[in-house]
Structure 1
Amino acid sequence: MAAPMFFCVVVTVTIVKLLLIPSYRSTDFEVHRNWLAITHSKPVSQWYYEDTSEWTLDYPPLFAWFEFLLSHVAKYFDPAMLKVTNLNYASFATVLFQRLSVIVSDLLLVYAVYECCQCVQVMGKKNSPQLLSQPMFVLAVLLLWNFGLLIVDHIHFQYNGFLTGLKLLSIARILQRRHLEGAFWFSLLLNFKHIYLYIAPAYFIYLLRAHCFTRSNRDGRVQWTSLSLLNLFGLGVVVLEVFAISFGPFIAMGQLGQVLSRLFPVKRGLVHAYWAPNFWALYNIADKAATAVAVRAKLLSPDDITQATMTGGLVQEYTHNALPTISPLVTVILTLAAMMPALVHLWRRPCTPRDFLRCLVLCAFASFLFGYHVHEKAIILIIIPLSLLAVESRQDGQVFLLLSTCGHLSLFPLLFTQAETPSKVCLMLMFSLFAFMALGSLHGSSKRRPYCLPLLSPVETAYIIGLVLLQLYCSLGHHALGLTTRLPFLPLMLTSVYCALGVMGSWLKFYFTTLTSVQHLKQS
């Protein structure tokens, strides 16, 4: 892809980000303002003890230092934002600074996307003059214009673009077989935000297998021979150095336990206040249905039923009524079990970078579907790396279209104010229409069925139409039917459950393709 065209993609998306500056802000805006204040006005020894605000510092140390650096620019905008006691402070200068800090930090994402575009295996119409038939252009738009990143970072407010840049840079280096650099960037990422532990098993298996073991090709079969202690030592040094720099000062102060207690709080419920569209959303609705049946059959007394706090907007622990209550340990076991076939497959195969990328996506899927207290925003961890595969494979393009549509629509409830409705609807439509048109053009659709969306089957097309009808009900129908007071949680619950069906279906289809398809295993 020509540099001017990539530059145009960057400029247009940046303009949109600037236009979103006045948009609605979630509590995450105050979270990060408070972290700016803590790291600027408190000594390092107090960063992970400070609790004036309920939004205490609970990211790894490198992110705390990132906030510290930002605070030294923030003081030139409005020093008042850096006072720990100024809770919920949001002057115009404060809003402007924090919004701009997200946009500027996205420059790392821009660079990482450019690097990933160089790694795309050009296929099909590589010399086509049409932009929608150029894989690198399509990938650039799918990543830089990703709907989830735009609304979560530039409306809701977070720094996922910057973190995604670290992740994509790590992936790009591994696709380029620069293993130590890939390990370095991923170690850096883990020390910025520990949610990326979800995909760490894929990195561990791939780097151990591809970098630390030597291999030979005998009779057309790849055979792994011996472990290279030198390579293992080099890899260990790279990873441990990053962790030592990050956690070293807090270990020296005897605060490692305190830091870890902030990073891994255990007093949380199975699901977030708003259910993520995963297996537990289906489990919860099954529990509600089973409870209703049990009460009617007089197997349960109404007095024994726990009230439905799951949809009340609170983060807390609760018990199920008819089905077994799920503990954190159960979710860990299920998550590891869901990852295991992918990890074993990666270990046993030739272990190419594309194999690694597929395993990474499956690890992200497993942790999203079966993890404990999963945030709905974590769907981005799956969609972003899947974008790289979607432009190279027709089957992966099918999965991407289904997953990105239902996954992105599941984020709609994050922006619940009426003023943001046009923004989220227009951005979602723009991204989805481009994805369907571009991937349809890129992979061709010679056997396309009538009345079906590009690349999708009749069942998948019907499911997408159902998503549109669901959104119409949530936006207009629920209020028109007068159910706002009686059943305020219903739109959220329907969105989570219906989108969960799409996410589960995408996971199963992608898993099946990974374990059975030969074409991906031939790529080196």
Structure 2
Amino acid sequence: MDADCSPVGLYFWPVVAVVTCIKLLLMPTYRSTDFEVHRNWLAITHSLPESKWYYDETSEWTLDYPPFFAWFECALSYGAELFDPAMLIVDNLNYASKGTILFQRLSVIGADLVFICAVKEFCSTLPGKKNKNEDLLSQPAFTLTLLLIGNFGLLIVDHIHFQYNGFLFGIMILSITRITQGRNLDGALWFAILLNFKHIYLYIAPAYFIYLLRCYCFTQANRDGSVRWSSLSLGRLVMLGSIVIAVFAVSFGPFIYMGQLEQILSRLFPFKRGLCHAYWAPNFWALYNVVDKALSTAGSRFGVISVNASTASMTGGLVQEFDHTVLPSIPPVITLICTVLSIMPAVYNIWRYPRGPKSFLRCLTLCAYGSFIFGWHVHEKAVLLVIIPLCLRKQAQVYILLSTVGHYSLFPLIFTSAETPIKVCLMMMYCILTFMCLGSLYRTTKKNSMVSILPRLQKLYLLGFIHLYIICEILLPLMPFTKKYEFIPLMLTSVYCAIGVLWSWLQLYRITLSDTTKLQVKQD
């Protein structure tokens, strides 16, 4: 690969520098309660012994991430002590001195170095430009650098709202890179580490399990591509299992020794938080809630049913359990069944027709999709778990749709007036950048662009976001009834975005099944 087209060439670090400057400029912006959550975790892990980390309830924001993340917070706390030791006092609830803000903002920017290095590593596996006269935007490595390093969702979620998603996605991309390179054990090691940082990545665990079992542990196959159990390599299975077990032993072992496993699991999987998060994720259950709300409102108006506060609370913006009024209420087991059914075609496809890293990455994306669309108490921020891996795939139309929809669905997280111009400008810049990059990368003629090859219905849907923004952000706040029904803008945003999420999901499944059909015909 030529030096000028390598991701470590002239363009990679300037892109990183520009995006880092944007992150620094965002330091004084609004911060959510997650800022206090992580400050409290710094205090817990620094001031209390390990035996009390998962029992402390001084703050309502208790530690509910796996042990590796707790140790990550503990390591950060020694740096925090240099900025303001008072932030590490457990009883200092809602403490936000200038030193605290500066340190926590800088810690997120510093942790992003893992993400930056992982993107560089993945881009190094991509082919360089064949023609030196080609536009730089038509180079996969440069396009991917722009779309990942400058990802709109990571900017507002991590550097305004406040979280540590960047370095976690960096570990995920590094794991994917190792599998792409055929280094399956390394990929499994990094993914096991990732799970012990944040358990939301269980969403994509089925893709790893099936792919590694099928493509690493099975060394042979029948001519039709089907698996023979006699071809299972026990040595490889033991080696793979040993790596995963060793990582979990290092993470959970000390707490199991202290008899705290049950307590940790109760923190990691709190099923009493209700079907939906306070900010509705744009998934199937958002549509389900709205249908139930419409039916209950119509039934109440015509005197068919009576509505009480408990059944109507799903639109109140609170994190709690609630019952649907007309449609059946959904327990966690139903969401699990729906999620499993939604990912089964993708999992079966990779098991029956393994085609290397390409099929793995597609299966991983579909697993993330299914968990986001049908999962229990899904956070709207979890859409990034679909957007980031989809960006690594050559599915331009699907990515255009999902990135626009998914990123817009994050708007309710940043609701302060001072940050409104920031989120709108960053979103517009990222959308323009996405259209330019993918249009240049995948155009078939000089006259074609990403806009011209998008289906007409999809273009109309995307243009609808302009009207959605005007209605939710400008017109509805002026209406007198909005004070009583504050959930309406959020409901409209969730429902409209949910349509796009399901649409893009079906598009990706159609492409996957079409490719499978072609493979079957080729084998026959």
TM class, shorter-chain normalised?
A: over 0.9
| Cα distance in 1 between the residues matched to 2:156 and 2:352 | 39
Change (3 A) 1:138 1:93: same
Confirm whether residue 98 of structure 1 aligns to residue 104 of structure 2: yes
| Cα distance in 1 between the residues matched to 2:317 and 2:304 | 29
Q: What residue is the counterpart of 1:86 in the other structure? A: 92
Q: How does 1:103-142 map to 2 (within 5 A)?
A: 103-120=109-126, 127-142=132-147
Give the match's secondary structure for 2:219.
strand
Q: What residue is the counterpart of 1:322 in the other structure? A: 326
Q: How does 1:160-199 map to 2 (within 5 A)?
A: 160-199=165-204
Q: 1:24 aligns with which of 18, 30, 36?
A: 30
Q: What residue is the counterpart of 1:457 in the other structure? A: 455
Change (3 A) 1:471 1:126: farther
Aligned partners of 2:311 and 2:325 also within 8 Å: no
| Cα distance in 1 between the residues matched to 2:517 and 2:127 | 13
Q: 1:365 aligns with which of 350, 360, 369?
A: 369
CA-to-aligned-CA distance 1:227-271 (integer Å, 9 cap, x gap): 011111110111111000000000111111111111111211100
- Give the Å deviation of 1:296: 4.2
CA-to-aligned-CA distance 1:51-76 (integer Å, 9 cap, x gap): 10000000000000000000011100
Task: Give the number of equivalent residue pairs.
Answer: 512
Aligned partners of 1:120 and 1:388 also within 8 Å: no
Change (3 A) 1:436 1:44: same
Q: What residue is the counterpart of 2:73 in the other structure? A: 67
| Cα distance in 1 between the residues matched to 2:11 and 2:244 | 36
Amino acid at match of 1:190: L
Change (3 A) 1:521 1:37: farther
TM-score by length of 1: 0.94
| Cα distance in 2 between the residues matched to 1:448 and 1:499 | 31
- Give the Å deviation of 1:289: 1.4
| Cα distance in 2 between the residues matched to 1:12 and 1:292 | 50
Confirm whether residue 299 of structure 1 aligns to residue 297 of structure 2: no
Confirm whether residue 388 of structure 1 aligns to residue 392 of structure 2: yes
Confirm whether residue 313 of structure 1 aligns to residue 317 of structure 2: yes
Amino acid at match of 2:298: V
Q: What residue is the counterpart of 1:282 in the other structure? A: 287
Q: What residue is the counterpart of 2:19 in the other structure? A: 13
- 4+ residue runs over 4 A deviation: 125-128, 221-225, 304-307, 445-450, 518-522
- Give the Å deviation of 1:311: 2.5
Aligned partners of 1:215 and 1:222 also within 8 Å: no
Q: What residue is the counterpart of 1:508 in the other structure? A: 506
| Cα distance in 2 between the residues matched to 1:174 and 1:290 | 48
Q: What residue is the counterpart of 2:235 in the other structure? A: 230
Give the match's secondary structure for 2:271.
coil
Q: What residue is the counterpart of 1:415 in the other structure? A: 414
Q: 2:62 aligns with which of 34, 50, 56?
A: 56
RMSD of equivalent CA atoms: 2.0
| Cα distance in 1 between the residues matched to 2:368 and 2:303 | 41
- Give the Å deviation of 1:482: 3.5
CA-to-aligned-CA distance 1:343-396 (integer Å, 9 cap, x gap): 00110003411101000000000000000100000000000000011xx3xxx1
Q: What residue is the counterpart of 2:397 in the other structure? A: 398
Q: What residue is the counterpart of 2:353 in the other structure? A: 349
| Cα distance in 1 between the residues matched to 2:349 and 2:132 | 35
Aligned partners of 1:445 and 1:454 also within 8 Å: no
Confirm whether residue 43 of structure 1 aligns to residue 49 of structure 2: yes
- Give the Å deviation of 1:340: 0.6
Amino acid at match of 2:425: C
- Give the Å deviation of 1:426: 1.0
| Cα distance in 1 between the residues matched to 2:29 and 2:319 | 25
Q: What residue is the counterpart of 1:206 in the other structure? A: 211
Q: 1:266 aligns with which of 271, 279, 283?
A: 271
| Cα distance in 2 between the residues matched to 1:519 and 1:337 | 20
- Give the Å deviation of 1:215: 2.4
Aligned partners of 1:139 and 1:388 also within 8 Å: yes
- Give the Å deviation of 1:481: 3.5
**Gapped regions of structure 2 (runs ≥ 5):** none
| Cα distance in 2 between the residues matched to 1:468 and 1:239 | 47
Give the match's secondary structure for 2:62.
coil
- Give the Å deviation of 1:487: 2.6
| Cα distance in 2 between the residues matched to 1:301 and 1:483 | 22
Change (3 A) 1:248 1:50: same
- Give the Å deviation of 1:120: 2.9
- Give the Å deviation of 1:506: 0.4
Q: What residue is the counterpart of 1:476 in the other structure? A: 474
| Cα distance in 2 between the residues matched to 1:520 and 1:238 | 36
Q: What residue is the counterpart of 2:82 in the other structure? A: 76
Give the match's secondary structure for 1:274.
coil
Aligned partners of 2:27 and 2:159 also within 8 Å: yes
Change (3 A) 1:121 1:367: farther
Give the match's secondary structure for 2:451.
coil
- Give the Å deviation of 1:479: 2.3
Aligned partners of 2:36 and 2:95 also within 8 Å: yes
| Cα distance in 2 between the residues matched to 1:310 and 1:151 | 26
Aligned partners of 1:81 and 1:94 also within 8 Å: yes
Aligned partners of 1:448 and 1:455 also within 8 Å: no
| Cα distance in 1 between the residues matched to 2:452 and 2:424 | 21
Change (3 A) 1:122 1:350: farther
Q: 2:148 aligns with which of 143, 150, 153?
A: 143
Confirm whether residue 158 of structure 1 aligns to residue 163 of structure 2: yes
Aligned partners of 1:352 and 1:521 also within 8 Å: no
